Copies of this chain bind each other. A is one copy, B any other.
Amino acid sequence: MLDEVYAVCRDDTSGAPADYIPELAAVAPDSFGLCLATADGLVYQVGDTDIGFTIQSISKPFTYALALADRGLDGVAAHIDVEPSGEPFNEISLEPDSQRPSNPMINSGAITAASLIDGRDAADRFERVRRCYSRFAGRELTMNEAVYESEARTGYRNRAIGYMLRSVGIIDVDPDDAVDRYFRQCSIEITCADLAVMAATLADNGINPRTHERALSTSLTERVLSVMTTCGMYNAAGDWVTTVGLPAKSGVGGGIIAVLPGQLGISVYSPRLDGQGNSVRGVAACRELSRRLELHFCHVTRSARTAIRADYSVAQLPSRLRRTPDDAEVLAAHGDRARVYELHGDLLFAGAERAVRAIEGNADELDALVIDLRRVGEVSRVARGMIEQLQAELVRRGSRVALVDPDAKLGHEVSSLDPDDPRGRVFVDRDTATEWCEDIVLDRHRPPGTSAITSIDLDEHPLLMGLAAADRDRLCADFIGRTFARGEVIAERGEPRSGLYLILAGRVRATFAGTDGRVHRLLTLSSGMSFGEIPMLTGEKFVNDIVAETGVRVAVMSAAVFDELAEQHPKLKLALLQRLAAGAYAQMEATVRTISGNAENY
């Protein structure tokens, strides 16, 4: 695409390089470089992208940026306005009332901006400017001495502007110093590739995507881009906004930068200029790229609208805590009263408004809900406030709210256990948050008088219940009681089969090492459930670590006893196996149904 645009624009050899000083007139007039840099720092390039040339007026937004950083918005606004002037860039006139230059993109405004740079002395002030540009470019830039000397020798008009600005008090330091710094900044040598990175840094909210260094704060970046939008392209601003639609700046050296905020930067170098002082091929290439790539700022993505990436009830996607049959029944009936909302993308107002509206619309049906922020990028101040208000409103209406927010994007550094605290619980993974939701649903919807069973006797275990009393007693005798302390490893991955374990009290967790190098829970089992059957039935080894999540009491039938049972009491073993198989199938069915529940996902 870039090659095509390059080929289309190369043929136009109209215009001529600036010739007000011999050094500018001496460039190769048909040089042509074109770059497109993504906001994550990849630079696509074609042509003469490594030829050095002087930055000239493209310096203006960057010195303005440094002045804003040094003096603040108001400190700079007292000296420079932000209105398009409708006049040539080197016009000496100032605003009638305030005497301020109309904007920092015309020479009078740029010289004023140069006067506002902090520093110990003139050398230090320029060094700060040079370092600022270098931060944007991601490499150490230097000044072209020959161009500087020529500019300094002949720049009568800019000196006049400097003295005039001093005469009306807009510049309150030595005007020669400001004008000299302006000549120096214009003489800094860059390449088309450098400009692409500088543009990408503006696109990336002031962060250089190559060095990951902050070159400018987000809010000041916004200001600089605003001024570039209305004042960046000399007198062609309106035409530029309609046909290109990107904040931009051009320089008489033949460079142009253009920025699609948040997304990409474009740079062009081609020294032949049109009547307005803009690079002929530069304007053409930006127009062509904007048209082909649909970069116009009014042609923005609507993805901000869909801040909810997915939402589902805990019945559809339960936690990995395997519930008892009674609890599973309650969750099957009432699990739709707890939902997980996964948000994604950057959360700005419009996306947050959609998400909050959708969540609030369901809220009366919900006992609990989880807002999962792990896939969210930047959270704007307003979005943070909106989600906090949503939490307060939901708590007021009787729902409990939890966040999955391991990076504290919402600024809740501490999980709150107080059920009336609208800031609520903060979890680091969805599984735990979902379990918390399920517990709330169970608390509210368990039939009166029932409660979570936490401890049973061996003969109450579902695997044995329902057998004839004599059979059950005989089987019970074959089990041995054991206890494990919290955190104790019951079986390790790779261990051979060690028995059929029936859980009588406490919780047991099966874990595995994820591809991310962390240990994840596969399942949590509790009293009334069993484990170790698979190695027992298949003769294979344990494939997970089995760890006591709480203190645990189990009954174990050893492998030897299990094998002997077939010889001694085949019908009893048959009954046991039938129960194991039925349980396994029912569990599989439920699991598969859970995955399938979200039908639209397939």
Q: Give me the interface of A with B, judged by CB distance under 8 Å.
A: 1, 38-40, 42, 81-87, 102-103, 218, 221-223, 225-227, 229-231, 235-239, 241-242, 245, 247, 260-264, 292-306, 309, 320, 344-346, 348-351, 353-354, 357, 377-378, 380-382, 386, 429-431, 512, 514-516, 518, 520, 522-523, 533-534, 537-538, 543, 566, 570-571, 573-574, 577-578, 580-582, 584-589, 591-593, 595-596, 599-602
Contact = CB atoms under 8 A, between A and B. Distances in A.
Contact of A81 (B238, B264, B377): B238
24 contacts: A38-B354, A40-B354, A83-B86, A84-B84, A102-B238, A218-B299, A229-B241, A230-B237, A247-B298, A260-B350, A261-B298, A295-B349, A301-B304, A303-B303, A303-B351, A303-B377, A309-B309, A320-B596, A320-B602, A512-B593, A512-B596, A520-B599, A566-B574, A577-B581
B294 A382 contact: yes
A351 B293 CA distance: 11
A391 to B, nearest CB: 16
Contacts of A514: 599-600
Given A84-B238, A226-B242, 11 more contacts: A38-B350, A83-B235, A84-B84, A227-B242, A261-B300, A297-B297, A302-B378, A306-B345, A320-B596, A515-B599, A534-B582
Nearest to A316: B515
B260 A242 contact: no
Contacts of A353: 38, 264
B297 A261 contact: yes
A596 B518 CA distance: 13
Contact of A571 (B39, B518, B566): B566
Contacts of A592: 522-523, 591
A583 B458 CA distance: 27
Contact of A296 (B222, B263, B378, B523): B222
B242 A82 contact: yes
Nearest to A430: B602
Contacts of A226: 241-242, 245, 296, 298
A599 B516 contact: yes
Nearest to A383: B294
A537 B227 contact: no
A264 B350 contact: yes
List the 4 closest A-B pairs by CB distance, nearest first.
A303-B345, A86-B86, A514-B599, A83-B238
Tell me whether chain A's interface is mostly helix, strand or loop, or mixed.
helix
Contacts of A42: 357
A350 B245 contact: no
A524 to B, nearest CB: 13
A102 B86 CA distance: 11
B301 A351 contact: yes
A497 to B, nearest CB: 12
Contacts of A86: 83-87
Given A351-B303, A377-B302, A537 B574 contact: no
Contact of A300 (B300, B381, B537, B571): B300
A522 B298 contact: no
A301 B345 contact: yes
A536 to B, nearest CB: 9
Nearest to A385: B1
Given A83-B235, A587-B588, A225 B298 contact: yes
Contacts of A102: 238
A386 B593 CA distance: 38
Contact of A40 (B305, B566, B587, B591): B305
Nearest to A350: B263
A307 B431 CA distance: 25
A45 to B, nearest CB: 14
Contacts of A293: 349, 382
A537 B602 contact: no
A298 B84 CA distance: 18
Contacts of A346: 301-303
Contact of A533 (B221, B305, B585): B585
Contacts of A429: 602
Given A238-B83, A298-B222, A305 B263 contact: yes
A578 B582 CA distance: 11
A591 to B, nearest CB: 6
Chain B CB within 10 A, most for which of A295, A298, A305: A298
Contacts of A600: 514, 516
A538 B514 CA distance: 35
A82 B239 contact: yes
A221 B298 CA distance: 8
Contact of A581 (B1, B262, B581): B581
Contacts of A262: 300-302, 304-305, 350
A591 B588 contact: yes
Contacts of A239: 81-83
Given A237-B84, A245-B226, A302 B39 contact: yes
Nearest to A319: B602
Contacts of A242: 82, 223, 226-227
A69 B591 CA distance: 56
Contacts of A534: 582, 585-586, 589
A243 B601 CA distance: 43
Nearest to A293: B349
A39 B294 CA distance: 20
Contacts of A40: 305, 354
Nearest to A569: B570
